[in-house]
Every structure is written in C-alpha cells, then in structure tokens.
C-alpha cells in the first residue's frame, strides 16, 4: 500500500494527516478554514487519493501557519507514500477550466524541489482563506515532497482560479503517481 500517516505539532499548529495514493477519492478534512477544506476536498476527489486531515492552529492570528503546516505535512506524506518511486510515471500535467478560469499544472516527482507559479489574484481573501497563501501552500508541498511544479492560472474570479489550480494539481499528481512499470524513470537509477 502506498500510504503514509504524518503528524506535526508546533507552538502554532497541530496537524495529523493520512494519505492513500491508491484510494477512492475519499476525504475527511477539518482545518477550521472553510475554503481551504473545500480545496483539499477537491484535490482528494480529483486525484483519487484518500486524504484525512485534522488541523488546529492559531487562527486568531490568521491562517498562514496552519495552511503552511498542512502543506509541509502533505508534502512529507506524499514523499513517504511514494517510497522508492519505482514504476511511477513521474511526470504529470493537466489543464483545468472552471468557468472563465483556466489553470495549468506541470510537475516532476524527480526528487528536486522547485516551484513556479504565475497567478494574479484580485481579492485579498476567498472566505477566510488568504489568496497570498495559494503559492505558499504549493511551495510547502513541493519543498517537502521533492517535486518540481510549474503552474499558472488566468481568470477574474479568485474562487474559480484557485479551485482550478487545486484540481489541475490533483490531475497532475494522479498521472505522475500512476504505476506503469517496475523501473525508476531516471538515468541515475533513483529519484
């Protein structure tokens, strides 16, 4: 089974997360930030991964620490669940429309962390979720999972743009983590 269970406790947050890469898209998400829960649920359903997240934090300050720490824990869990990465496709890409918004995510689960995002949001928040945290969340995942990810989104409704990004990330991960053989897709022999 390609699964992982990771917990992280700091003076600012307490996160517990379980993931099953060979799941059925089942989600149990509770972060205290409604829109963030909605995005993690969308990621789960469209990736086909099972994901459980219980997160508590200093939301009285703002959502920054909690969103960042969920990204850190999700990245670590993805890396652990992928193990030696033998047989995975490794690369994934997806373009996802949502009404006027169009998002594109291209990624490589190659062991090198790098994140590039081209997105211009016009609102400071969607619900209780700061739009500044979108890029930071994905950067936290890629840094902890060893993923290179390039993404961009256009549109004018920030809700649609962010949701399209999360769904494009989901489909890219679904493709990249698919098992198609037994060898490691690298001239180095390891990822």
Strand order across the beta sheet in which 148-154 lies: 91-98, 101-108, 148-154, 114-118
Superfamily of domain 3-176: Imidazole glycerol phosphate dehydratase; domain 1 (3.30.230.40)
Residue 140 has pLDDT above 90, yes or no: yes
Q: What is the mean pLDDT of residues 124-146?
A: 98
Q: Determine which helix (DSSP H) or strand (DSSP E) holds 89, and give its type and residue range.
A: none
The pLDDT tens digits for 59-97 are: 999 999 999 999 999 999 999 999 999 999 999 999 999
> Any idea where the domains of the chain sit in the sequence?
3-176
Q: What is the mean pLDDT of residues 6-33?
A: 98
pTM of the full predicted structure?
0.97
The pLDDT tens digits for 21-61 are: 999 999 999 999 999 999 999 999 999 999 999 999 999 99
């Amino acid at each position: 089974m390609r699964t992982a269970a990771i917990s992280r406790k700091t003076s600012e947050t307490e996160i517990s997360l379980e993931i099953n890469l060979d799941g059925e898209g089942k989600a149990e998400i509770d972060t205290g930030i409604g829109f963030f829960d909605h995005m993690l649920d969308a990621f789960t359903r469209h990736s086909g991964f099972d994901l459980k997240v219980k997160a508590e934090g200093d939301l009285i300050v703002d959502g920054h620490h909690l969103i960042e720490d969920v990204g850190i824990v999700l990245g670590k869990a993805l890396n652990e669940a992928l193990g030696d990465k033998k047989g995975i496709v490794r690369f994934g890409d997806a373009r996802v429309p949502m009404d006027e918004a169009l998002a594109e995510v291209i990624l490589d689960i190659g062991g090198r962390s790098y994140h590039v995002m081209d997105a211009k949001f016009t609102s400071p928040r969607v619900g209780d979720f700061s739009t500044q945290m979108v890029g930071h969340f994905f950067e936290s995942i890629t840094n902890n999972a060893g993923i290179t990810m390039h993404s961009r989104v256009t549109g004018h409704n920030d809700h649609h743009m962010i949701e399209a990004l999360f769904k494009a990330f989901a489909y890219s991960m679904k493709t990249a983590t698919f098992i198609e053989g037994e060898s490691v897709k690298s001239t180095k022999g390891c990822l």
